[in-house]
Structure 1
């Protein structure tokens, strides 16, 4: 989880190491599978093209997807908890810094978050993720996102603080049609999605 917002979404060194380790395993599995497939194709007499088949990128849509990806893929509280646990298991020195950055992004301490994600409703997890996204991800720091960012951050912070005051077993009841946080959650989600879906309109 880099403390420098310009580096984008929360990305601790632990996450990088973890993903690199997974990639090594995946690459080996893919290479093994490719070898098996090529042998089987050869055995069946299937001709393999010598040059790769090229496909044109669809025009006008790729940029939209990239921009929306930058807006939506900032916070992921469950994934970041897993990354910090991985860092702890590996004995990385920066674990305390990761936890500090985590608390700033999600508005909850790491230890409290570990407990919260075990039983919190999806609405609360989504709120944590939205808050971290608007706080950390560079695309949300741009001037044209200022109004959305401020409103989403204000509502998300209120939802999190209110939900964390309630016992775990009652948190799900805070959301939905009759929940006291339901309308505010829906409003926050609408603004969040409106910003994402409206960026290229």
Structure 2
């Protein structure tokens, strides 16, 4: 979606009509991005409102390099991450040492799981074929993603859906890169298991 340059320049002059046009153009798309990081639609709406406020206040920082939509997406993701950290402050700061210990245990367990997976590759292919045949809708995929614990889901969304590198994720979430990789692996495994269970239910109906 290409936004009219006139709308952007109008927003840079804080014109209400231009701001409303920008909202009308991008609110649905940006809300879907916010929802990836939120627990529910109400929380996504809060993030969206805060994100658009940041867009309007900081739009003069847009340097006309790359797509404007991409710039807006980064603002929304940053807003969502800040919202998450603000509401999970105890988790990130007071319990960070305990969490890292747990992540290390998960990492070791995941290496063992990978070894088992390789031994049963044919069974895994059957699982993936079952998931593929189920033909999930976008809403169903999002519902499956919501079953994953927040700290795994956030990393999955940043890495897989929004293309962030582990170094970037680590910096934004105040974790190390190994923790980011471990969370992504764990998220993928949990999501695969959830989709497989949903596939069976859909196919037997």
Q: Specify if TM > 0.5.
A: no
Higher gyration radius (CA): 1
Between 1 and 2, higher relative CO (CA 8 Å, sep ≥ 6) is seen in 1
Quick check: which one's helix share is greater? Answer: 2
User: Shorter-chain-normalised TM-score: which range?
Assistant: under 0.3
Q: TM-score, normalised by structure 2?
A: 0.24
